[in-house]
Structure 1
Amino acid sequence: MSDHPMPESITVHKASRVFEIAFSDGARFRIPFELMRVYSPSAEVQGHGPGQAVLQTGKRHVDIVALEPVGNYAVQPTFSDGHDSGIFTWEYLYFLGSQQDALWADYERRLAEAGVDRDAPMSEKAASGCGHH
């Protein structure tokens, strides 16, 4: 049994596009769908090694259209843009919720470095995932 806090409730707020999760240690987080999508733990987003992460853009209006439990340790959301390969463990959701200010800042820094706007459409190459040169 892990010593990490377990979720006691999960609410998907479709109107405000916020994933709300309350943990057994009393922490409660409201994580925007956009943040979850941009920081999806899938290989498509994170890449296959350090520095391989694919910068996600155009996700401000993304919705979660389905949420599947994965065992008793994670959930797997299906996003409205078709992305469904990210498995969000309770630990990762806790990390996203507790670090979201820093994560937003890091995302904005990466956007600025790439010279793109957060609302820019994803290029076909980036959108398809593994672009091999």
Structure 2
Amino acid sequence: MAKSARRGPYFCGIDAAMDVVAGKWKPLILWELNNYGTRRFAELRRGLPGVSEKMLIQHLREMEEDGLVHREVYRQVPPKVEYSLTEQGVSLNTALSSLGKWGTERMRRMGAEKVPVSVEDPVG
């Protein structure tokens, strides 16, 4: 099990789950890695318009500590770092897919705009 900075106590399972996906960007990072596979930092940043470099670094570190994301460092010049989902990350993304479908339906009912993505959105 990955070392985690957060260890409860938790009120319920939802509380424990929200602890690792808290914030706007973590679920979107999970979605990006799930749908596009292993990504370098710059690719993740381009895929998440509006995220700051500082916030992306912070969330990736926390997600790595929580065992959701694997960080692979290649010892080469120039340095290369890739991020991918762990088994736990894939499992959490699967759990979040129902929430994504609910959100897509809500957007439809509200007539809310959707930010265009480069490939078909598998959740909506």
Q: TM-score, normalised by structure 1?
A: 0.29
- Normalized per residue, which structure has more strand? 1
Q: TM-score, normalised by structure 2?
A: 0.30
- Normalized per residue, which structure has more helix? 2
Which structure carries more relative contact order (alpha carbon 8 Å, separation 6+)?
Answer: 2
